[in-house]
Amino acid sequence: MKSFSKSKILCVGDIILDSYIQGKVERISPEAPIPVFKLGDERFVLGGAANVARNICAGGGSCYLISVVGQDEDSRILNKLIKQERNLSVKLLKIKNRKTTKKQRYISGQQQVLRIDNETNNEISIEHEKIIFEHFKDLIENFDVVVISDYNKGLLTYNLVQKLILLAKKYKKPIVVDPKRDSFEIYKGATIITPNYKELMKANKDSFLNTTTETRKIEIFSRDLIKKYSLNSVITTRSFDGLSVITKNKKAITFSSEALEVFDVSGAGDTVVAYLSLGISAGLSIEKSAALANKAAGISVGKFGTASVYFSEVLNYNNQTSKLFSINEAKIKLKTIKEKKIGFTNGCFDLIHSGHVNYLIKTKEYCDFLILGLNSDSSIRKLKGKDRPICLEDERLTILSNFPFIDMLILFSDETPLKLIKAIKPNLIFKGGDYGIEDVVGNKEIKLWGGQVKILRYEKGKSTSNLIERIRK
């Protein structure tokens, strides 16, 4: 499968701050027939067009995102999250008296009990429209593909969208649109639009087909839209049924869903747009790009909440569950294997060498299920300086996921894995012999649930630092 390290995507769209608030519902209020939600931790994630952008970056490409936000605390949180993403650049136009779009999801167990949307939907002014377009015009020549991520929050006016499309066509840049409108006229002239089945039906509300299959209905409606709005392709996402690709003057293709298990479909459409764009930017056909996007979507729905899908996951997704888990996913998985002895270790694993391999093989001898907490690129830069890592996280994940003695990988961005350890509660924490037990993060906490720290023999002279020195010589 092709690498996307040279792929450069220019994205214009509605940025959203996704908030996930964990809590517990254990009783019904005596005041009214409503659940009582006991508040827990809040987690923030990039959503909307920003989720498209971070999936492009997770896939190995680079992305420049143009959007609007308010002059508020939520925009500051967004900026902080964006800075943690590798290869993501932004132009966020701050507009006075405008709210940064925020979706708050209240979750008990793995169930959403409430969602609160806080947003401004009115269209941006002509003045702000001009600023966005001029910035787009200055950048477009240097990018491979244009993505328009439309969540219908007021940024993408009819005039702006048409100007973006016309300019992209002038520079011969493919335009991928994720639509959220009842009418697709605004996207006239785009290369590809990617509605879900419901959105496709809404866009064809004046048409009526009652005696045909869903697949056939998608093809007929898609071809009508292609002709009506001068499109090249309509790619319809179909939830559990995969996706359908209808391209001008070509036979219709349907890809079956590759999801092994479905936890959450939110953000799956963003993942499709991201990997579709990556494929096209690398010179793949629309059909091959769609197959890639379908595979990535199958991984996305197996994660909780709005999530990134890494290229290494797609690369290794051959009818088996990916080894990369979020903390929440890991907690659910571990509930199914309570009888097994869970081992945990962590590290940067930058420039993987024989010392790493021997150490990991040894850890697996002491446990049934080995979890490796892997420092993210941003975490390594904090610990070791701006020149590290040598190998980026998607490369390290690709290598480590192919080690049979590793059962689960969890990427973390904190300077220490303490939060991760407290969440998964392993039976054993492993560290190399250059550590004392009292120096190991989590040594106090693991005693609370009856676990222990195990120090393994350190292989002297075998380290990433020594390897770098040898290379420099």
- Residue identified by tokens 């070791």 is 384
Cβ-Cβ contacts under 8 Å for 426 (sequence gap 6 or more): 342, 343, 344, 371, 446, 451
**What strands, in cross-sheet order, belong to the sheet with 35-48?**
35-48, 15-28, 102-108, 111-118
Closest CA relative to residue 140, chosen from 113, 115, 172, 109: 172
CB 37 within 8 A of CB 24: yes
**CB neighbours of residue 418 within 10 Å:** 14
Pairing relationship of beta strands 8-13 and 243-247 according to DSSP bridges:
unpaired
Pairing relationship of beta strands 342-347 and 369-375 according to DSSP bridges:
parallel
Percent helix, strand, coil in the chain (nearest 5)?
Answer: 35, 25, 35
Pairing relationship of beta strands 15-28 and 35-48 according to DSSP bridges:
antiparallel
Helix (H) or strand (E) holding 276: helix 268-281
Task: Give CA–CA dist 334/98, Å, rounded.
Answer: 43
Task: Give CA–CA dist 407/344, Å, rounded.
Answer: 10
What are the distances in angstroms from CA 6 to CA 136, 176, 283, 311, 428?
A: 20, 18, 11, 14, 41
Closest CA relative to residue 276, chosen from 305, 300, 240: 300
270 is catalytic: yes
- Which residue out of 270, 350, 377, 394 is catalytically annotated? 270
- The tokens for 175 are 């335009």
Residue 351 identity (one-letter amino acid): L
CB 165 within 8 A of CB 193: no
Grouping H, G, I as helix, E, B as strand and the rest as coil, residue 322 is coil
Cβ-Cβ contacts under 8 Å for 387 (sequence gap 6 or more): none
| Catalytic residue list | 270
